[in-house]
Amino acid sequence: MTEMSVKPRPDAIDISAADLRPSFELSDSTEYLDDSAKLQELYFEQGYLLLRGVLDRASVRRALERMMVVMAEHGYVKPGEREPVWTGKPLAGKWEESPAFSGISRELIEHPRNVAVLGKILGEPACPVPMVNYRCYPPHTPLSMVHQDGQYSPGIEGYRPVWIPLTEIDERVGGLLLAPGQHKRGRIHNLGKPPLFPIPQDAVPATAWATTVYNPGDVLVVHPWTPHVGMANTSDRIRFSIDTRVQSAANPRVVLGDVEAVTERSVSLRMLDGTLHNYRVDEESYLRTGDNPGVRFSPRDFAANTPLGLRVVAAIEDGRAMFVRRASEN
């Protein structure tokens, strides 16, 4: 599944989110919510699951209100505003992993109804992964890069990326745009253009893209190799959503711990229960412990630039860290 299907092309033109247009509507799989086998089949066939109105609406509303309080403190929405109408103040700084939002995702995910829904999506009891991006994008926010999550988080097949809209998100507000079915081709990022390895312009057919109108209570589960990107926000509102992951509660693949020791070949993590675990790292490990979590370190830079005590998340397979990155949610 993860074999590279596009050769390194240092001179290739990068795909631009601004040039993409949806050609069809995403399919609704809500009718199969109580049929986990069918959900797994659709997930691997389509490269995504769209489930409508399955989360507890009050918990989604609370998550939105908590995020809006933070944004009101900084002048992006008016204090006490019920709807996410933008004040016009330009967005400054990085907000996706801001500690000001810490705990909002966990409260949402661990609501009894929601955790039950996520267990159905996973096919077994689920728990949150401490990797969260809080999305709050006003109009005119620069578009992000078209990408596959699996490129930057090896081992992601062991859990599910989950995107949760907190408000109505139509095409003007700019929801997620997906290329269904393209996950079957495996990795299509251009390894000839480090450090971000963008996808070439001609790697995805122009007619492959799809989206829909998203509503509070919806869940979009995106396969790690499905190309996707957020569309431009041309409305008068801030787009609020949460991008997180869920994994097996019985056999979690992703661990959370503080760096106790680090070398070019290994990292030792002190877990929250006090136990110490040592994992191998190598040239294939995706090491993202710098200030910019999207930039990959070599093992040498990883050893030189990862401070002791840093809280990280790591995906583990047979004693090897497939990726290590700063924790975004404690």
Q: What number is the average pLDDT over the span 38-60?
A: 97
Q: What number is the average pLDDT over the span 113-141?
A: 92
d(CA 226, CA 320): 25
Instruction: Judge contact between 240 and 228, C-beta under 8 A.
Output: no
Distances (CA, A) of 309 to 77, 260, 273, 293, 303: 36, 6, 15, 17, 13
Q: Model pTM greater than 0.85?
A: yes
Note the pLDDT of residue 3: 46
Note the pLDDT of residue 232: 96
CATH of the domain at 309: 2.40.50
On whether residue 308 sits in a domain, the answer given is yes
d(CA 214, CA 164): 9
The pLDDT confidence band at residue 129, using thresholds 50, 70 and 90, is confident
On whether residue 183 sits in a domain, the answer given is yes
Same domain, 123 and 35: yes
Cis peptide upstream of residue 195 (ω within 30 degrees of 0): yes
CB atoms within 10 A of CB 163: 22
Most confident by average pLDDT, 4-8, 141-145, 249-253: 141-145
Instruction: Judge contact between 222 and 161, C-beta under 8 A.
Output: yes
pLDDT digits (tens, 9 = 90+) for 263-272: 999 999 999 9
Instruction: Judge contact between 237 and 50, C-beta under 8 A.
Output: no
Domain containing 307 equals: 254-326
Q: Burial, 292: exposed, middle or buried (Cβ in 10 Å; 0-12, 13-18, 19+)?
A: exposed
Same domain, 146 and 293: no
Nearest to 138 by CA among 23, 230, 276: 230
Give 93's contacts (C-beta < 8 A, 6+ positions apart): none
Same domain, 41 and 138: yes
Q: Which residues pair with 164 in a beta bridge?
A: 242
Please give the single-letter amino acid code of residue 96.
E
Please name the helix (run of DSSP H) or strand (run of DSSP E) that holds residue 237, with its range, or none. Answer: none
* Mean pLDDT over the full length of the chain: 93
Of 150 and 6, the one with more pLDDT: 150
Same domain, 90 and 195: yes
Same domain, 274 and 215: no
The pLDDT confidence band at residue 157, using thresholds 50, 70 and 90, is low
d(CA 126, CA 119): 5
Place of tokens 């910019």: 292
Note the pLDDT of residue 252: 85
Structural tokens at position 158: 């062991």
Q: Is 103 helix (H, G, I), strand (E, B) or coil?
A: coil
Task: Order across the sheet with 239-248: list the strands.
Answer: 48-51, 219-222, 159-165, 239-248, 126-137
On whether residue 189 sits in a domain, the answer given is yes
CATH of the domain at 82: 2.60.120.620
Q: What number is the average pLDDT over the span 126-130?
A: 85
pLDDT digits (tens, 9 = 90+) for 199-222: 999 999 999 999 999 999 999 999
